[in-house]
């Protein structure tokens, strides 16, 4: 029992990903498409690097909205990558929600499930078989008149 003046208990450290969180994260790395046509194309080398991070990825804080299972992705020490130079956002969807994976400075940083209806509630990420790949953003013509780079 704590008394007045006792230090507050420390928050628990990062925890391992649940099976469902891990499956969603891997699915997003393998299948997510660039959220914006302004994002750099995602290559197979990018996906390999990000997939190699999964075994060491832990969960930091969860979203406090009460409607979603979104989570900060950390390393074993609880460090959340900062966004200083580059951010890539991969997207996917499931019935009633959009999925987003943020990769900041080449490190997995946030896995988000964003309900499409204000009244929708998701206690956990959906099963992998319910995830759907979005169509990639349209290519824009380059300054030379050809199509922009194709997604790898």
The two tokens of residue 73 are 């992705």
Q: Is 98 exposed, middle or buried (0-12, 13-18, 19+ CB in 10 A)?
A: middle
Residue 145 lies in a domain: no
Residue 134 lies in a domain: no
Residue 137 lies in a domain: no
Full residue range of the structural domain in which residue 101 is found: 15-117
Number of domains in the chain: 1
Residue 152 lies in a domain: no
Confidence class for position 12, pLDDT limits 50, 70, 90: low
Q: What is the pLDDT of residues 22-60, one digit of tens each?
A: 999 999 999 999 988 887 889 999 999 999 999 999 999
Residue 71 lies in a domain: yes
Q: How far apart are CA 70 and CA 72, in angstroms?
A: 7
The two tokens of residue 124 are 């956990």
Residue 150 lies in a domain: no
HEC readout, 48-92: HHHHHHHHHCEEEEECCCCCCCCEEEECCCCCCCCCCCCEEEEEE
Q: What is the pLDDT of residues 109-118, one digit of tens each?
A: 999 999 999 8
Residue 48 lies in a domain: yes
């Amino acid at each position: 029992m704590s008394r007045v003046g006792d230090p507050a208990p420390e928050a628990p450290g990062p925890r391992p990903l649940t099976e469902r969180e891990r499956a969603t994260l891997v699915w997003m790395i393998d299948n997510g498409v660039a959220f914006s046509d302004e994002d750099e194309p995602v290559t197979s080398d990018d996906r390999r690097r990000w997939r190699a991070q999964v075994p060491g990825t832990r969960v930091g804080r969860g979203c406090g909205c009460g409607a979603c299972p979104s989570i900060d992705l950390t390393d074993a020490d609880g460090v959340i990558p900062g966004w200083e130079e580059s951010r890539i956002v991969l997207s996917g969807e499931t019935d009633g929600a959009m999925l987003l994976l943020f990769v900041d400075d080449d490190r997995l940083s946030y896995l988000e499930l964003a309900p499409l209806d204000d009244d929708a509630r998701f206690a956990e990420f959906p099963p992998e078989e319910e995830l759907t790949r979005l169509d990639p953003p349209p290519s824009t013509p380059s300054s030379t008149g050809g199509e922009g780079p194709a997604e790898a």
